[in-house]
């Protein structure tokens, strides 16, 4: 790994990389950390051996508290004095996990988060959350709005009425409600959160990478453009995939099995179980 991060513990497990955020005592997100994380994610996108990235917290009591409000005060003063703030512009730039990258990124939310922390989690493709964790888009309480994609991503995830309520009140939701309204992918027992996340991540890492990248692109296009334009992108990318070497190999392998139905797959699994049982009986 070329980058030596100051605020992340980086661990690799096969084709999955885990980034554990660490900025005690409260895991506050800063512009420096934001740019460091973007560089880490860029390196992840460029590494052909890694397929899935997971961001979580190294601290058991907080995922990401929020962006450094003290720094926002300084940025506001700079804008008042000069009319602009280059540091704020850099933070808001669409880089790293904030772009629709070709690989899967998962947020493993092990503890509470709010503000910019929730915005970062919503920028990920999947969000797994411990049942004792909670989240809020609380910028309204300090007189600002979510400025790193929160107003756009939350509205797409939970719909206009719910997004309006959560962002205008700043109220906190726990994992089970967050899953019910579509804010997160899955709520998990705290002790099994990372086990479930890693099992899901390894399953994603085993999928054909080009199919993952193109499917993601089409799904996000569905949210960002009219149907006719989205269908055009889908058709173009489908043609690219159907002729790709990996797809050709997988499709031929499937055809060679006789293209079994789901019922046939179940029967094959049952036959394997029965065979294993008979072997055990013959060789106790």
Residue 99 pLDDT: 63
Residue 86 pLDDT: 83
CATH 1.10.12 fits 209-282, yes or no: yes
Task: Note the pTM of the prediction, 2 decimals.
Answer: 0.87
Tell me the C-alpha distance between 119 and 98, whole Å.
10
Given the structure tokens 């947020």, which residue do they identify?
A: 107
Nearest to 27 by CA among 116, 134, 124: 116
Cα–Cα separations (whole angstroms), residue 231 to 3, 100, 217, 219: 39, 18, 12, 11
What is the mean pLDDT for each group of 10 consecutive residues in the chain (284 residues)?
86 97 94 91 93 96 90 85 83 66 94 94 96 95 89 94 97 97 97 97 95 92 89 91 89 81 71 78 71
Structure tokens at 121: 């989690």
Tell me the C-alpha distance between 66 and 139, whole Å.
9
Within the chain, which residue ranges are assigned CATH 3.90.226.10?
8-205
The CATH H-level (homologous superfamily) assignment of domain 8-205 is 2-enoyl-CoA Hydratase; Chain A, domain 1 (3.90.226.10)
Residue 18 pLDDT: 98
């Amino acid at each position: 790994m070329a980058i030596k991060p100051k605020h992340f513990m980086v661990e690799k497990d096969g084709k999955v990389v885990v980034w554990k955020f660490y900025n005690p005592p409260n895991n506050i997100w800063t512009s420096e950390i934001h740019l460091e994380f973007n560089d880490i994610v860029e390196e992840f996108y460029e590494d052909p051996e890694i397929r899935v990235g997971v961001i979580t917290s190294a601290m058991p009591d907080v995922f990401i508290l929020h962006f450094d409000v003290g720094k926002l005060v300084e940025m506001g003063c700079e804008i008042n004095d000069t009319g602009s703030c280059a540091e704020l512009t850099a933070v808001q730039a669409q880089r790293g996990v904030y772009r629709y990258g070709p690989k899967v990124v998962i947020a493993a939310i092990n503890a509470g988060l709010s503000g910019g922390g929730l915005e970062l989690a919503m920028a990920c493709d999947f969000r797994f959350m411990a049942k004792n964790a909670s989240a809020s888009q609380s910028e309204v309480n300090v007189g600002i709005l979510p400025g790193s994609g929160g107003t756009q991503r939350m509205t797409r995830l939970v719909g206009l009425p719910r997004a309006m309520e959560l962002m205008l009140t700043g109220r906190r939701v726990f994992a089970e409600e967050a899953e019910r309204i579509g804010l997160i992918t899955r709520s998990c027992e705290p002790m099994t959160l990372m086990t479930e996340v890693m099992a899901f991540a390894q399953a994603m890492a085993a999928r054909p990478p080009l199919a993952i990248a193109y499917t993601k692109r089409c799904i996000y296009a569905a949210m960002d453009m009219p149907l006719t334009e989205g269908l055009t992108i889908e058709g173009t990318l489908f043609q690219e995939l159907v002729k790709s070497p990996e797809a050709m190999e997988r499709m031929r392998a499937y055809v060679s099995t006789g293209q079994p139905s789901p019922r046939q797959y179940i029967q094959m699994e049952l036959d394997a179980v029965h065979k294993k049982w008979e072997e055990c009986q013959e060789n106790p």
